[in-house]
Amino acid sequence: MTSTGPDGVFARIDRGVTGLPDCARPSLTVRVGLRTLLLSPEESRRTLYGPRRDSELGAAVWRQAVAEARKEPRNGDGAGRLLVVWLALPGLYRNLHKILRCLRVERSDLEAEAVLAVLAAVDALDPDDPEPGRRLIKEAVNRMWDYGKRVAQEIPVADIVAIAEARNATAPPEERPHPPEGWELHVTPPPTREGLYATLRFAEPRPRQAGRQGGTRLPDLVFRARRHEEADLIGTLILLPVGAPR
């Protein structure tokens, strides 16, 4: 379990909203009954989480923030969606810290899961939902818990991919060490798109008769490819001593 500190996901989102100059900071125009209010980000948050919360005004803030976020073009700056996530953060901290105390999970990953959940919920939210903020926060909390429980069941192991890559890495032919004695098998398929369609198998040859192999000293274990005598050519197998020119 680790803390992301000032470079964490939530901290960066906070700076992305509060660190903007006044002229660039997002604001919300909220209508409640006959009232029309222009709220700064901090005023919007106090409306949602302050000691004098107004449920009607709070619901209006959430609906307006979500509506503006959903109107943003895909190639826009994302300021509206960033504001929605920022408004949801205070509702996430309690469960965030509880999960960090109970489960072995990285805080940065947990925060990222929460942000993704909020953004996904913005697009799926019913515009007529009477409590849009509660729905956004609930989706994020559920996703954090699901992620935490899933990760807690995982057992850390060695980097299998790195081990496999190192094991499977082969040196170029010119750098590959050659044993003092050995053989190389070269397979040349016919020049067709179908490639080589033959059965290649390891087979142990019968005991050689004197002089039958002509002094070639073939190994005891060789590749054999067979085809019917009337079938088309399936390819060529060449067995050469290691390092010999082809």
Mean pLDDT value of segment 148-175: 69
pTM: 0.61
Res 231 pLDDT > 70? no
Render pLDDT for 74-128 as a digit per residue (tens, 0 to 9): 787 888 999 999 999 999 999 999 999 998 889 999 999 999 999 999 989 887 7
Cα separation, 203 vs 26, in Å, equals 76
Cα separation, 110 vs 87, in Å, equals 18
Res 195 pLDDT > 60? no
pLDDT: is 217 or 114 the higher one?
Answer: 114
Give Cβ neighbours of residue 50 (< 8 Å, ≥ 6 apart). none
Res 222 pLDDT > 50? no
Please, which pLDDT band fits residue 179 given cuts at 50, 70 and 90?
Answer: low
Residue 131: exposed, middle, or buried by beta-carbon count in 10 A (0-12, 13-18, 19+)?
Answer: middle
Cα separation, 25 vs 177, in Å, equals 65
CA distances from 30 to 51, 63, 208, 213 (A): 20, 9, 96, 95
Please, which pLDDT band fits residue 7 given cuts at 50, 70 and 90?
Answer: confident
